[in-house]
Amino acid sequence: MNKQINQISGLFQESREPITKIKAISLHQPYASLIAMGLKKFETRSWSTNYRGKLVICAAKKIPFNSSRTMRPWRIRYCLI
């Protein structure tokens, strides 16, 4: 049995599935957090995939230059700081 960390709550979750290979996607903030919280449901890319399953979300180090303007509607809608 593997112990996996839930990144949002920081709690350990028991998993009976063996950890093998897993897909990952890198996103700029605030999008990585919004997707992890379930507030952003879709991410579009120029390439397609048939993969459906567990996915690791990596928050990229670089902050986009327009993050304040882009984040404003999310802050208003979900009362985010």
**Closest Cα to residue 52, out of 23, 12, 74?**
23
Q: What is the pLDDT along the chain (81 residues), one digit of tens a residue?
A: 445 544 444 444 566 666 677 888 888 887 888 888 888 888 888 888 888 888 888 887 766 656 666 666 766 666 655
Q: What's the CA gap between 32 and 40, in Å, rounded? A: 9
Torsion angles phi and psi, residue 64, rounded to 5:
-60, 145
Peptide bond into 30 cis (omega under 30): yes
